[in-house]
């Protein structure tokens, strides 16, 4: 049996840091294993000039595949044994050739608002490429905040914010920010002081899977599964299954303005959802069900959401 595991990943600073976290755990659980890393550029990395929905539409890639297609191709070809992803970048329904072998314990799920000092909170211009964040921002600030498209990895977005006098702030995931070492409530980029503010998770809920590092393998690859299974965090996997099944049933993609997160409370899954209707109306639901049946909780959430439309 081979003693080498080849890991595929994107090349951004955050993707590499997430891969390092996986490698650190593997060094502990499989000390005799030799780890190699293959960096793979994706369409989402190359096309930063237009919003993500436009990239997907132009390429014919369904859902969020712009960040994983090339990596999955390498996985299918056998040039890598597994792939490390941000779970929120993965489509709600995986290609049947693949499966999730493990997810690491979930990090902070919050979106954060990063602002320059002295900006007018009642008339913000914010940078984001996420349809979810754009629509949630309209609802959260009552229409007073404007959003401009802003693409790029975390350090790039921070530098763009610092350099652009027309931008007051950006909205970003705290998990990615923290994994790159930005843990202080205030820090400086290129001489510009920025402050970090948590956005409330119930009125500004995260993307499905936000804060979760996922490891994907070829379906039925017993060797890879045996190596990676010890890294899996069962509670996080249950929440991931709930959220992703909800996303699949909703038929959502990167152009759907919906945030959702699941938690396990005393053996019960609690799934909270905020969906913005085509008319800009926020629809909130909470679905609860047994911890051992995440799919039923997701189905209930879909039913509750549908009931609000009538």
CA–CA distance, 128 with 173 (Å, rounded to integer): 11
- Phi then psi for residue 175, to 5 deg, are -55, -50
Question: 79, 171 in Cβ contact below 8 A?
Answer: no
Q: Which of 43, 24, 49 is nearest to 35 (CA)?
A: 24
Q: What is the pLDDT of residues 156-194, one digit of tens each?
A: 999 999 999 999 999 999 999 999 999 999 999 999 999
For the chain, give the mean pLDDT.
92
263, 108 contact by CB (below 8 A): no
Number of Cβ within 10 Å of residue 55's Cβ equals 21
Enumerate the active-site residues.
89
Rounded to whole angstroms, how far apart are CA atoms 207 and 205? 7
Query: Token pair for residue 179?
Result: 């994994």
User: How confident is the model at residue 245, as a pLDDT?
Assistant: 97
Q: In this model, does residue 46 exceed pLDDT 70?
A: no
Q: State mean pLDDT over 186-210.
A: 96
Contact between 61 and 31 (Cβ < 8 Å): no
Cβ atoms within 10 Å, residue 114:
23
């Amino acid at each position: 049996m081979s003693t080498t595991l080849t890991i595929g990943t994107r090349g951004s600073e955050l993707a590499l840091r997430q891969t390092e976290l996986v490698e650190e755990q593997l060094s502990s659980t499989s000390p005799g294993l030799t780890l190699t890393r293959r960096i793979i550029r994706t369409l989402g990395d190359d096309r930063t000039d237009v919003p993500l929905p436009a990239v997907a539409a132009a390429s014919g890639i369904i859902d969020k595949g712009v960040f994983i297609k090339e990596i999955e191709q390498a996985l299918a070809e056998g040039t890598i044994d597994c792939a490390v992803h941000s779970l929120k970048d993965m489509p709600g329904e995986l290609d049947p050739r693949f499966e999730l072998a493990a997810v690491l314990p979930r990090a902070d799920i919050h979106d954060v608002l990063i602002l320059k000092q002295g900006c007018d909170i009642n008339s913000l211009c914010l940078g984001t490429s996420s349809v979810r964040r754009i629509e949630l921002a309209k609802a959260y600030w009552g229409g007073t905040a404007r959003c401009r498209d802003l693409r790029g990895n975390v350090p790039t977005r921070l530098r763009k914010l610092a350099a652009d006098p027309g931008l007051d702030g950006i909205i970003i995931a705290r998990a990615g920010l923290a994994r790159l070492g930005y843990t202080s409530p205030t820090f400086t980029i290129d001489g510009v002081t920025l402050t970090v503010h948590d956005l409330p998770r119930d009125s500004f809920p995260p993307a499905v899977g936000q804060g979760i590092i996922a490891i994907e393998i070829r379906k039925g690859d017993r060797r890879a599964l045996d190596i990676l299974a010890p890294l899996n965090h069962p509670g996080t996997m249950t929440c991931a299954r709930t959220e992703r099944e909800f996303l699949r049933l909703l038929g959502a993609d990167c152009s759907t303005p919906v945030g959702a997160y699941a938690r396990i409370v005393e053996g019960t899954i609690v799934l909270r959802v905020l969906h913005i209707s085509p008319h800009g109306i926020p629809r909130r639901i909470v679905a609860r069900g047994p911890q051992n049946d995440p799919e039923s909780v997701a189905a209930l959430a879909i039913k509750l959401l549908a009931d609000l439309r009538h």
